[in-house]
Chain A
Amino acid sequence: MGMAMAEVLERAGCEVEFREAQTCCGQPAFNSGYRQEAREVARHFLNVFEGAEYIVVPSGSCASMIAHHYGELMADHRETRVWEFSQFLTDVLRVEDAGARLDATVTYHDSCHALREMKIKSGPRRLLEKVRGLKLVEMDAAEECCGFGGTFSIKFPDVSGAIARTKIESIVRTGAEAVVSIDSSCLMQIGGALARAGSKIRAMHLAEVLASR
């Protein structure tokens, strides 16, 4: 997925740099209530990305953590360089046709933090609609959570799993061959539940779709 994102960005004319020292944004600790630990990791993140022009993140959830919650951890911090991948394409590069081709019927899952904190709703859909050979179908529960929720998925596995099964019922009803999202964690949850249910539906990151030719 990371390679796919780099490829799409380069194709769109960007120079992509990968800083080796990067690790995590700290969200898992923050969401678990461990703010001191989250702050330490956030400081590491900011050190690593010092001087970067744009920071493009293949996850709406991580992007939201950095853009919205770093300010809660570090009072004087305001982060404006961070963009979620699809948002960077549509809002910064003004790209809607990434030049991709994928012969498949797909449905799009709105990741919660991308949708509600980053207000990303139509951008990924517009990008998908421009993919040659691709047919986008809407599921009835597109905006319903997949049930991942970070540590929630292992603290309350039965609840998390039940939510995931409701989600995949909605995906299956569309008849799509793949479900697309902009968050790897949702994809791990949805893909894992689909696999457990014996479904052939693939869970794909938007970057993987846009890198297909």
Chain B
Amino acid sequence: MSARENIGAALGDPKLQLAIYSATARLGDARKQSVAEGALPDYQELRQYAHEIKKHTLDHLDFYLEQLERNVLSRGGQVIWANDAREACEFVTTLARERGAKLVVKSKSMTSEEIHLNDRLEAERIEAVETDLGEYIIQLAHQKPYHIIAPALHKTREQVAEVLNAPADSTPEELTKKARAALREKFLAAGIGITGANFLIADSGAIVLVENEGNARLSSSAPGIHIAIAGIEKIIPRAQDLAVFLKLLARSATGQALSVYTSFLAGPRREAEPDGPEEFYLVLLDNGRTRVLADREKRQSLYCIRCGACLNACPVYRKIGGYSYPWVYSGPIGKILTPQFLGIEHDPWLPFASSLCGACGEVCPVKIELPKILLELRSEIVRKHKEPGERRAWRIFSWVMRRPKTFARLGKMGRFAARKMPGVTKTVGPMKAWLSQRDLPPMPEKSFRELWKERK
């Protein structure tokens, strides 16, 4: 089923509707409380600051990437530049083959979802185990993440029990325990741990992982090899800039002041250190990012820190859910990233599936102007992806709107038709679409124009 066809399936499933609506409401309300005036008085200033830091960094990305590379190397790590998904996956599978690793543990990473790493590992007969609970559940269910930060948001407790082979009446605690026991074994046996990175710090060569379950910390420290895969836009100049982003990230995502675990990892284990991996690799992924960077207007799409707040705020996501979007990134951010990464011809309907309510832009912690970018994309799409019928309709619109007399006459005809021939108007395309969901207001006999004249 295509993403667009999934819309109908989601709308027609009352259980799913309730699950999406209540989960996003919970996350959204928690966010709202955590950034309220009393809880975080300088929230708006922080957003602006975060926006400026991202802007500065991406405007000088070449400089910061090279600085990052030097610092990762000086700490004994390796940097791999991957132009696309294939190169990134190939590095991982080759290294696994060379080191004889048959088992890989992974912590939740949208970037690894983006490059479909699990499929590639499976094809190479390397077992990859997701260790974030939500991600583990959807991996067992052979699905993709439903939500950027809550991958199994759409699953009920009963469904999770089924996936985990647990009794249907298991409590969330029992389910977690069962998953935890299975995962513990994997952590200890894995040859390679793969994580993403929430931030890459240029001036120290460290990566930062933000999580709640401790699985990312284990994935990055228990196996002998740690591979972090991150998009090149994850970079920030200095560790002190984290003071801004860490205040915003967990609050925007879940309403927490700070996530349970925040790990700073710089290179492999050094001599005096009791634990940590022997080898550390940082895979820096382009996969379309430099193309987005080239567009000055829409470059800000890369400021995203993957908090998921825009999904929770979006009236459309809250109805159609995560599987109605054609790519791994769903919600408003997916709506602007997908056409820019995959090309606007990929799913030209996507930027139009928005009421332009602006709730996404309002909650974005780094102030990405999502509605503005949606409008830009729409304009690009109609220029490059011409639909003759629609274009003609808008030419006529413009023609009529510049001819007040015609406009008034057409209005009169429309009102007359709607009152006297409701059966006929119902068959007109847009009217049919409108009436499929709601009624039309009763049409007045006279227009404002006519009433105004009479009054004078």
Residues of A within 8 A of B (CB): 2-3, 6, 18, 20-24, 26, 28-35, 37-38, 40-41, 44, 112-113, 116-117, 143-145, 147-164, 166, 187-189, 191-193, 195-196, 203
Contacts and interface: CB of A to CB of B under 8 A. Distances in A.
Contact of B358 (A112, A163, A191): A112
Contacts of B378: 31-33
A33 B381 contact: yes
Contacts of A157: 433-434, 436-437
The 5 closest A-B pairs by CB, nearest first: A149-B355, A161-B437, A192-B438, A33-B378, A145-B357
Given A162-B17, A192-B438, A195-B439, 8 more contacts: A18-B449, A147-B355, A152-B352, A155-B353, A157-B436, A161-B437, A162-B319, A163-B316
Contact of A30 (B319, B362, B375, B380): B375
A35 B394 CA distance: 10
A158 B397 contact: no
B398 A40 contact: yes
Contact of A37 (B318, B356, B394, B434): B394
A22 B404 contact: yes
Contact of B319 (A24, A29, A163): A163
B441 A191 contact: yes
Contact of B7 (A34, A37, A40, A158): A158
B410 to A, nearest CB: 10
Given A33-B378, A159-B7, A149 B357 contact: yes
A193 B440 CA distance: 9
B315 A23 contact: no
A162 B355 contact: no
11 contacts: A20-B449, A32-B352, A32-B394, A34-B391, A145-B355, A153-B433, A156-B353, A158-B11, A158-B436, A166-B319, A192-B438
A29 B438 contact: no
A113 B358 contact: yes
Nearest to A162: B319
Given A23-B404, A30-B375, A152 B355 contact: yes
Contacts of A116: 357-359, 361-362
B430 interface: yes
A24 B437 contact: no
B155 to A, nearest CB: 21
A189 B438 contact: yes
Contact of A152 (B21, B318, B356, B407): B356
Contacts of B401: 23-24, 26, 40-41, 44
Given A20-B404, A161-B437, A196-B439, A31 B356 contact: yes
Contact of B441 (A18, A29, A166, A192): A192
Query: Which of A18, A31, A187 has most chain B Cβ within 10 Å?
Result: A31
* Interface residues of chain B: helix, strand, loop or mixed (majority): helix
Interface string B182-218: 0000000000000000000000000000000000000
A26 B8 CA distance: 31
A24 B381 CA distance: 24
B356 A3 contact: no
Contacts of A40: 398, 401-402
Contacts of A161: 436-438
A29 B2 CA distance: 28
B83 interface: no
Interface in B308-366: 315-316, 318-320, 349, 352-359, 361-362
Interface in B382-403: 382-383, 390-391, 394-395, 397-398, 400-402
A143 to B, nearest CB: 8
A163 B8 CA distance: 14
Nearest to B316: A159
B181 interface: no
A96 to B, nearest CB: 24
B448 A158 contact: no
A32 B382 contact: yes
Nearest to A168: B438
A31 to B, nearest CB: 6
Nearest to A193: B438
A203 B439 CA distance: 13
A2 B448 contact: yes
Contact of B437 (A32, A37, A196): A196
A28 B397 contact: yes
B413 to A, nearest CB: 15
B438 A196 contact: yes
B427 interface: no
Nearest to A159: B319
Given A23-B402, A163-B316, A33 B356 contact: no
